[in-house]
Amino acid sequence: MPRADYVTCKSCDRSVEECGPLSHQRLCADCAIFLVAENAAGIALKQGPAYQRWRLGMVARVLPRELVAELFNAGAFAEPRDAA
């Protein structure tokens, strides 16, 4: 359901007059669709912030919270660096 009190998209900075109604997350339809596609591609390709959030969530589902925090702080969920 669109919000009438938002006036610009937080992603592309276009006004409501240019892009139409905005979502509760202050995104226009074009930006919302783009972000969903970008996140889906990141998870499918196993790279990017969406994949890292998904991976952390899967681990957090089966391990105790303290162990997940320790692993996260140790860099276990960081993206691998390319060997150049």
CA angle 26, 20, 31 (to 5 degrees): 50
- 78 vs 50: which has the higher pLDDT: 50
Give the pLDDT score at 82. 52
pLDDT tens-digit map of 23-71 = 889 999 999 999 999 999 999 999 988 998 898 888 888 888 888 888 8
Cα 78 to Cα 75: distance, rounded to the nearest angstrom:
5
pTM: 0.69
The whole-number pLDDT of residue 6 equals: 86
For residues 2-24, give the mean pLDDT: 89
Q: What are phi and psi of 8, to 5 degrees?
A: -135, 150
Q: Taking 60 as the threshold, does the pLDDT of residue 84 lie above it?
A: no
User: Can you tell me the distance from the alpha carbon of 3 to that of 19, in angstroms, rounded to the nearest whole number?
Assistant: 13
